[in-house]
Structure 1
Amino acid sequence: MKKPFVSLERLQAITQQYPTPFHLYDEKGIRENARRLKAAFAWNPGFKEYFAVKATPTPAILKLLHEEGCGVDCSSLTELMLSDRCGFSGSEIMFSSNETPAEEFELAARLGATINLDDFTHIDFLRETLGYIPETISCRFNPGGVFQLGESKEGFQVMDTPGDSKYGFTRPQLFEGFKKLKELGAKRFGIHAFLASNTISNDYYPALAGILFQLAADLQKETGCKVAFINLSGGVGIPYRPDQPENDIAVIGEGVRRQFEEILVPAGMGDVSIFTELGRFMLGPYGCLVTKAVHFKHTYKEYVGVDACAANLMRPAMYGAYHHITVMGKEDRPLDHVYDVVGSLCENNDKFAVDRPLPEIELGDLLVIHDAGAHGFSMGYNYNGKLRSAEVLLEEDGSTRLIRRAETPEDYFSTMVFD
């Protein structure tokens, strides 16, 4: 059973100050999770987590993670600007972009970010843009084909198709690219890859590490390039459903360490730093969307209308993704009603839940939609003229702080030209 990180009484008090809907984040949970990750990879002296800014581009959250020793992974001009304004600099910033405009490479270079190239043709583009190749450079690897991880002890099977992905170098391109980059002045090299998304398996990261560690050993041996770091990227998931097991980051870290000892150490590469680039794992469970039941509809189905909509949390509408819902104050009541929980967009996919067993919902009940801390607010939009909601931080001492105000109609109209 998923439990909210906030009580009904505390939430009722919060809603007196901040009208629903809003996104609420748990500072205590975020900090504790960041420390668990750091401890799991403490065996690697150069380890660093580069939080994926796209998951939760909120200054207060980024600054909190900075305090916990995290860097940031950026993929756009404004994400670079945001990270700079939040105090990240130099090697604390990883820039992983694709189809990249010249101005974005220029800003990344000015900030001293580590540039992670997505394509072989970008080598010449980067050199033409900057007039040089940075001494530290990274390249993204795509092995092609299908990545499959057999059923693990958690009972979860991982399958994804890198061959259908638009990202990364092929293996031959990577070897040729490293040689070319070295000739152009690069001295320290990194490898990055992302093969599967939201895996509920302690085996994924070690399996990926084995692939990348062997690749790094082969690259260094054949090209003479010094591989300084290997970025395992993201893909470590969270259990959106209450019956799914949680990943154990300590077990995952130990699995990566074993691959490191078996592959890199014998190759004389025991000084390679391990980087991660987690978004969902870092923030997902520690944020929720708080909304209120405002309407009921009794037609061919039973509908509960809430004051949030897909513009506040797109994943269910876009992917059919499951997000658990708690009716606050009714956690222990029987799930003896079946509802579609819907928003007010003029789109039939604006549904947070379909045929969901829940306790009886009454007008004014507060609903917590779980696991919205990553790829929640950040994917919001203004369709139907909907306004983005506020973001609120539940601080470690139990107090709350507004970390993003709700949009107003004035914000919505501010970019429009009526003349």
Structure 2
Amino acid sequence: MNINVPRGTEDLLPEATKKWQVIEDKLNHLAQVYNYKEIRTPIFERTELFQRSVGDTTDIVQKEMYTFEDRGGRSLTLRPEGTASVARAYVQHKMHGSPAQPAKLYYIGPMFRYERPQQGRTRQFTQFGIEAIGSASPAIDAEVMAFAMDCYQELGLKSLKLVINSLGDQESREAHRNALIEHFKPVKEDLCSDCQNRLERNPLRLLDCKVDRDHEAMQTAPSILNYLNEESSQYFEGVKKHLDAMGISYVVDDTLVRGLDYYTHTAFEIMSEAEGFGAITTLSGGGRYSGLIDELGGPDISGIGFALSIERLIMALDAEGVNLDKDESVDCFVIAIGDEAKYTSSNVVNQLRKSGVKADQDYLDKKVKGQFKSADRVGATYAVIIGEEELANGVANVKNLKTGDQKTVETDQIAKEIKSGF
């Protein structure tokens, strides 16, 4: 019986992981440029963490989490997103006590959601994300959005759109919440069952509904921007001024809401406008959260972050025809002629690698012609040929396979000659 990968997961073979490595290297480098430090959290957490932080009215908690009991009867969940785990670690390890504030953190790793698999949406997916916790400045909001845009632009994407909105503070959200309830009450029975259930508990989530998005009531729903108090309005204006100062283009969309309950004030998404990308154009999203750290037992401070799916990033790269080339050729292929030469070959390969030279050799007992073909197949620049005569004299023939030049060198000088680039 053949055993294949579970539905909604995939194997990434070497041809695919080349592209992933280029992306991961770029993202890690950007994090250093922006002075964010890596944090690694467990793949599973206590279920309560996501119920309290993500929100028990969200699709993630209600429908999409992989939850199980361990042998001690404790409810655990494979992490569906990264912010909750980072916030939990921030509180648990009292990172708020450090003088280096805000804490600027980034993560990369697998997340899990039980969704209907489709292009760009898998049940195990990889997120890269950042969190800046401990500052309530509009400037850090703009920095996070600049970082998010750079993640795509530095990899060569051009067809991008930054969409922003403000969800306001708690007072503004409460005023908007009441207006939404009054607006949707008369048409409650026309809405899907999820929207009916959420109307009283979390009406903002109705604006993010994929089933009722074309309903007339959605088009005429009260705008959050009309309910921002003076403080929230000034904060949003500050965010926009910082973006303007940085030369970052954006579009304000008052219908933009994020799917997690912990967001307040700034919310944003980055979308692909590339032709042929697909119906779901959102590449990544994020926003500011207030109350999350406090909810998890920490101080009353806020943070902001974003997360992107590497799978969807790769889709966008493909849609724009961006190729991420990575040189995987080896510097040198060692060719052994005769049984005794094989032992010396192993030693030479080992010493080359210790010197930082990418080296390989034959492991299939191929003839000399076959070994040269193997050298060509791995893109080797040099071939080191060791036969009986070379063994007797403690030397090897080093051939530049690109130019045809060849010289005889002492065995312990091979790495030096290859690095010299003759």
Q: Report the TM-score, using the length of structure 2 for normalisation.
A: 0.23
Could you tell me the TM-score, scaled by structure 1's length? 0.23
Larger Rg: 2
User: Of the two structures, which has the highest relative contact order with CA contacts closer than 8 Å and spacing of 6 or more?
Assistant: 1
